[in-house]
Amino acid sequence: MGYQPTIYTNNEDNTCRFALGTQGLNPLIVIGINPSTADDKTSDKTINRVIGFANGNGFDSFLMLNLYPQRTPYPNNLDKKIDTNSNNLNLNCISELLAKYNKPTILAAWSEKIEIRDYLKNCLKEIFEVTKNDNVNWIKLGDYTKKGHPRHPLYAKYTLPLTNFEIEKYINKLK
């Protein structure tokens, strides 16, 4: 699988990206922290890693989603306060896309960066709420990080196994 996205959902001025991926029957659906520079024409390091994990683990496609849709290569530059409209559009997009799959597999991939803005934890909780009835198979890359978060694919070795991610237990531990 190369970089030939068939799914690209963004806002009018491309400051938010809601979904990026390829069409398939068995996608690796990844939820990261926020979109970086990848778009419908050019990949970035994170997307290249996602494609590598999809290829190496029997998936026929990938779908990149995020806790928050604001595009920036630097998560520390995310909005100080949540843009409720963008967040609602993100939730709607995630809900609509996941409804297309029977028992989708979601790779939790936000790392410690979930701690940089208080609203990111709420974004995760809202995503969980819109996905909990979709019979989702939540996974992570290997073990948790030292701080107890799922690993980001950019910094994970391809040899790490895909392991069960207990999303409800994780959410209940979030402060």
SS3 for the chain is: CCCCCCEEEECCCCCEEEEEECCCCCEEEEEECCCCCCCCCCCCHHHHHHHHHHHHCCCCEEEEEECCCECCCCHHHCCCCCCHHHHHHHHHHHHHHHCCCCCCEEEECCHHHHHCCHHHHHHHHHHHHHHCCCCCEEEEECCCCCCCCCCCHHHCCCCCCEEECCHHHHHHHCC
**Confidence band of 166 (pLDDT split at 50, 70, 90):** very high
One-letter amino acid for residue 85 of the chain = N
Residues whose CB falls within 8 Å of the CB of residue 88, separated by 6 or more in sequence, listed in order: none
Rg (CA), the chain: 15
pTM of the model: 0.95
Distance CA 75, CA 66 (A): 12
51 DSSP 8-state letter = H
pLDDT digits (tens, 9 = 90+) for 101-153: 989 999 999 999 999 999 999 999 999 998 887 689 999 999 999 999 999 99
Residue 163 has pLDDT above 90, yes or no: yes
pLDDT digits (tens, 9 = 90+) for 18-58: 999 999 999 999 999 999 999 999 999 999 999 999 999 99
